[in-house]
Structure 1
Amino acid sequence: MTIGFVTGLAAEARLLAGVSRFVGIGGGTPEGAATEAERLIGLGAAGLISFGLAGGLDPALPPGFLLVPQRIVEQDSTYECDPRLIEKIGGVTVGLLLGGDAVAATIAAKAALFGGTGASAIDLESGAIARVARAHGVPFAVLRAVADPAWRDLPAAAIIALDHAGRIAIGRIALSIARQPGQLPALMTLARDAAKARSTLLERVRVRFSTSP
């Protein structure tokens, strides 16, 4: 099966070098993810994997925890992940992941989502990718890792950090830090935990996927 991978960030896409010719960067929005999923299917991808970082909702999940959910929930829809792709990835690690339309930035917001949905984590791409996969009748799965745990607020700069191409917008971050210098330690912690999550993903990719294109 030719698998297409859709990420939110350019840094996530770089982890897939040599794994697949079909990699799309959604820019951290559901709309961008859906567009990239459609594009990859049009190019010949016969299955889709939502790949990258996620925000933790379950307080028990530490930074770097690998997320392979059994199903995705997005608003009123639930999508079952494909058992064959799950097996290819390495097996289920959580039951439910939430496909969100906005970043869960605070401890209170994460707790409300966890209590209301039971989802272990949230990201902004998986729901949209699952929706496109269902519409085209292609299998779908998720391989992500927790970068932002449930028990920590996101610093303001992190919420505006991306441009439309999924790249880090250094200018926006610098301006935000200049306005709120007290968020710098939290940003450094987030960067460390995001690196841990990327390391987890890279290790799994090396183990479970061929390095041939």
Structure 2
Amino acid sequence: MILAATGLLREGRILAGQGIRPLAGGGDPARLLALLDRWAREADGIISIGLCGALSPRLRPGDWVVAEAVLDGDERHAVDGPWASRLMEALPGAAQGMQVGQDGMLTDAAGKAALHQATGALGVDMESHVAARVALRHDLPFAVARVVSDDAGHDLPPAAEAGMRRDGGMDLAAVLRSLARDPRQLPALIRTGWHAERAFRELLRGHHRLGPGLAGPAGAGDAGLV
């Protein structure tokens, strides 16, 4: 069984299948850590997979990032090399480099630019560092494959952050309340939604290419690649 660490329940529904257990963190690192710890003893590997924010200005919504390592504060967590190679083989055009994991959502372009300059990382998400810690603790193979949903040059509107529930679901009421407080964010929210839909569609296509084992160690060699 492969554990798939995601942020949203929708990502998990896309990835669900035989041999895959999606676990949605909902932006709560303690919750995700507990879920991963609970299932790690039955797992053959852990992959952090789903949407991410771009740090590199070269990346656009729908682009894949396969991590060669994950930055977790001052720590650097290595990934399983053969697994990363299979991911790159199955996802033509994917960028490979550093991924940053952090507890909070990075919403502003200035913050993305500063983090990219400081680390050279390609993308950022709220699950990879947690998944890396659990994989290290349980001595499990670990990998990261993320689809860009927001590029480095745009700020995310407050409504986008307000819309994530702690279980990984979407809180439409919270989005509407945020819009009511500041209707000027509507164009940015629409753009964010378009970009996210592009990323969700690419995540589905990528899942089909990776196959039921997400190119992980549970499948031998090229099993699962199409």
TM-score normalised by the shorter chain: which range applies? over 0.9
Give 3-state SS (helix, strand or coil) of 1:194's partner: helix
Match of 1:101 in 2: 103
The answer to whether the aligner puts 1:75 opposite 2:73 as a matched pair is: yes
Runs (5+) with no aligned partner, structure 1: none
Q: What amino acid is the match of 2:31?
A: G
Distance across 2 between alignment mates of 1:76 and 1:70: 16
Could you tell me which of 150, 163, 166 is aligned with 1:164? 166
Q: Answer yes or no: is the 8 Å Cα contact 1:22–1:45 preserved in 2.
A: no
**Worse overlay, 168-177 or 199-208:** 199-208
Match of 2:3 in 1: 4
Match of 1:197 in 2: 199
**Worse overlay, 96-105 or 29-38:** 29-38
The runs of 4+ residues in structure 1 deviating greater than 6 Å are none
Distance across 2 between alignment mates of 1:56 and 1:176: 24
Q: What amino acid is the match of 2:29?
A: P
Cα offset for 1:6?
A: 1.2
Q: What amino acid is the match of 1:46?
A: D
Count of equivalent residues: 209
| TM-score (norm: length of structure 1) | 0.93
Match of 2:57 in 1: 59
Q: What amino acid is the match of 2:75?
A: S
- Are residues 20 and 180 of structure 1, via their aligned partners in 2, closer, same or farther at CA, if it must alter by over 3 Å? farther
What is the root-mean-square deviation in Å for CA atoms of aligned residues?
Answer: 1.5
| TM-score (norm: length of structure 2) | 0.88
Q: Answer yes or no: is the 8 Å Cα contact 1:23–1:40 preserved in 2.
A: no
Match of 1:143 in 2: 145
- Are residues 19 and 31 of structure 1, via their aligned partners in 2, closer, same or farther at CA, if it must alter by over 3 Å? same
Runs (5+) with no aligned partner, structure 2: 214-226
- Are residues 19 and 203 of structure 1, via their aligned partners in 2, closer, same or farther at CA, if it must alter by over 3 Å? farther
The answer to whether the aligner puts 1:84 opposite 2:86 as a matched pair is: no
Q: Percent identity?
A: 36
Q: Answer yes or no: is the 8 Å Cα contact 2:18–2:212 preserved in 1.
A: yes
